[in-house]
Structure 1
Amino acid sequence: MSLILIQALNGLQTGLVIFLAASGLTLVFGILGVINLSHGSFYMLGAYLALSLTGMFGDVFLALVAGIPLAFLLGLAIEWLFIRHLYDRDHLQQVLLTFALILIFNEFQQVVWGSYPHSIPAPSYLANSVRLTEGLSYPVYRLALMAICVALAIAMALVIQKTRIGRLIRAAESNREMVEALGFDSRLIFRMVFATGVALAATAGMLAAPIESAYPGIGDRVLIVSFVVVVIGGIGSVRGAFIGSLLIGMADAFGKVFLPQFSSIIIYALMALVLVIRPAGLFGRA
């Protein structure tokens, strides 16, 4: 029971971090219609931002406060320079350009931070562990990480469902021409959505950095898993991304313990199973 409890917590923590990254990808893919292969690079940049800003401020949460606006501004710049030219082009051109961005960001990371892994310390006030049972404890930082991810997920749902900007985003996804006919600039809406996706991926990287550290290529697996989550949950569905992320997190955590020889393929088998039953994903539209 102790093993099951600890793996359930690990799966929940992994799933919630994946959700932050995958939710940004599903927003960009579902609303802008852009296949963004560089999304994992923003997770990597978030981890390295946490490294640099924690060195400056001495606390990863202060680094988070400074890093999120920087990531958002980076997203605005990238959308204006590159992504806005892809909206009316085919997916092959989107793939080629965003793959080029991966190469650029990887080279930038090597030049600025080098090729060695770097550890990021958790805040000293969250360095302890909470006793769950007589012989089982769990790091406080991981629990705080889960709480922050849940709070961000709730805030995201409220913004999309209850606010004016959320209604505009949903309207632009459904009928961009009608939104423009009503006097709104759909290009500006798309730019804000892309920047939000970048900020979410970077936030996930910054939050996970004290657990995973920062190292070259850290965003590659996150990109693949995020696409798996988008496929499972349904393109454009934030709710689907949340459910899919939790399923992936639990499958990965328990698979490593109970089926270690198949742990590397379990999440892909789960995706294949969902596609057989619901080809558009759990909450996607055909």
Structure 2
Amino acid sequence: MSLVLLIEQILNGLQFGVMLFLMAAGLTLIFGVMGLINLAHGSFYMIGAFAAAATAAATGSFLLALAASLVAAAVAGAIVEMTVIRRLYNRDHLDQVLATFALILIFSEGTRWLFGSFPLFLEIPEYLSGPISLPFGIQYPQYRLAIIAVGLLVAAGLFALIARTSIGIQIRAGESDREMIAALGVDISKLYTFVFALGAALAGFAGALIGAIQSVQVGMGEPVLILAFVVIVIGGIGSIKGALLGALLVGLTDTLAGFLLPAAFGLIMEPSAAASVGSSLASMSIYVLMAGVLLFRPTGLFGSS
């Protein structure tokens, strides 16, 4: 096992973790502020990816495609919040789960009706295609490095929004005591719509970014949603800082386990058997990580007690 290959896998883990953060940040905001279990969050990831792919095919502009993913997912999120989610705030979590699961089916079939069942493809722009030279002779794809950089910039902007703006103060207050900020004159309905649309936009943006690496297809958001739930459990519900750290831990654990475990078992087993056993254990690694964190921090790394 070479140092170059290990560093490449670490970078892959960081890229995967940043993508998970974009998903988990919106999810933890929605749950922390609104107390809503939103199973349809992965659908906004899919909407953003399809909007980006369709826009890129029509205009040839990758930047316009990214903008379209933000707008499409945010608009879809705002419409869903005003028409469906708003009726669920005072209902129990089972009603929220059933309603948002129904939204998954509606979005999936609607997307299939609009775009068909065949996957779409979003091309990496020419100025980000190809590898870039890093220390130790590493050749690493420019686009994956761009995802890491953009994701960290979004994280910094989100931290600034929450910590240093008036809307951020309202969001944090709404998380602590929604009745009190409503009594102080804050329009809680508009605040909830903004938070839900922001979370949807982040998910759509993540879908657009990853759509240039893998195919854009119906149902692509559900596997990522499961990992996003793992992230917010590890990081702590309602914590953006926890979402970032949890996402990076999950991304690195998933990538490095998939790389190191088959190699380790290869020392004592036949290569084919080692690959099978190592891959199976690697797929369990993030859940072992989650169990380990919850064993010592039942509310997550940055969750409130």
Superposed displacement of residue 81, structure 1: 0.4
Aligned residues: 286
1:169 corresponds to: 171
Superposed displacement of residue 78, structure 1: 0.5
Give 1:76-91 correspondences, 5 Å limit.
Answer: 76-91=78-93
Counterpart check, 1:228 vs 2:247: no
Which has more radius of gyration?
Answer: 2
**Equivalent pair of 2:52/2:68 in contact (CA under 8 Å):** no
Superposed displacement of residue 188, structure 1: 1.1
CA distance in 1, matches of 2:152, 2:183: 37
**Equivalent pair of 2:42/2:222 in contact (CA under 8 Å):** yes
For 1:285, the aligned partner's letter is: S
The match for 1:183 among 173, 182, 185 is: 185
Superposed displacement of residue 30, structure 1: 0.8
For 2:113, the aligned partner's letter is: V
**Equivalent pair of 1:232/1:240 in contact (CA under 8 Å):** yes
Counterpart check, 1:9 vs 2:11: yes
1:57 corresponds to: 59
Superposed displacement of residue 202, structure 1: 0.3
The match for 1:18 among 11, 17, 20 is: 20
Give 1:109-258 correspondences, 5 Å limit.
Answer: 109-133=111-135, 135-258=137-260
**Runs of 4+ with deviation above 6 angstroms:** none
**Equivalent pair of 1:47/1:213 in contact (CA under 8 Å):** no
CA distance in 2, matches of 1:196, 1:234: 19
2:303 corresponds to: 284
What SS does the corresponding residue of 2:213 show, helix, strand or coil? helix
TM-score of the superposed pair, with normalisation by structure 2? 0.91
**Equivalent pair of 1:43/1:203 in contact (CA under 8 Å):** yes
Render the CA deviation track for 1:65-104: whole Å, top value 9, x for unaligned. 2331222121111100000111111000000000000000
Counterpart check, 1:268 vs 2:287: yes
CA distance in 2, matches of 1:78, 1:201: 15
1:39 corresponds to: 41
**Equivalent pair of 1:59/1:122 in contact (CA under 8 Å):** no
CA distance in 1, matches of 2:33, 2:280: 38
For 1:218, the aligned partner's letter is: M
Q: 1:133 to 1:181 in 2, by over 3 A?
A: closer
What SS does the corresponding residue of 1:265 show, helix, strand or coil? helix
What are the ranges of 5 or more consecutive residues in structure 2 without an aligned counterpart? 262-278
CA distance in 2, matches of 1:63, 1:70: 10
2:272 corresponds to: none
Larger RCO, structures 1/2 (Cα 8 Å, 6+ apart): 1
1:101 corresponds to: 103
CA distance in 2, matches of 1:36, 1:171: 21
CA distance in 2, matches of 1:96, 1:221: 18
CA distance in 2, matches of 1:151, 1:133: 23
Render the CA deviation track for 1:206-265: whole Å, top value 9, x for unaligned. 111101221222111111000000100000000000000000000011011112231211
What are the ranges of 5 or more consecutive residues in structure 1 without an aligned counterpart? none
Moved more, 236-245 or 128-137: 128-137
What SS does the corresponding residue of 2:283 show, helix, strand or coil? coil
TM-score of the superposed pair, with normalisation by structure 1? 0.97
For 1:95, the aligned partner's letter is: V
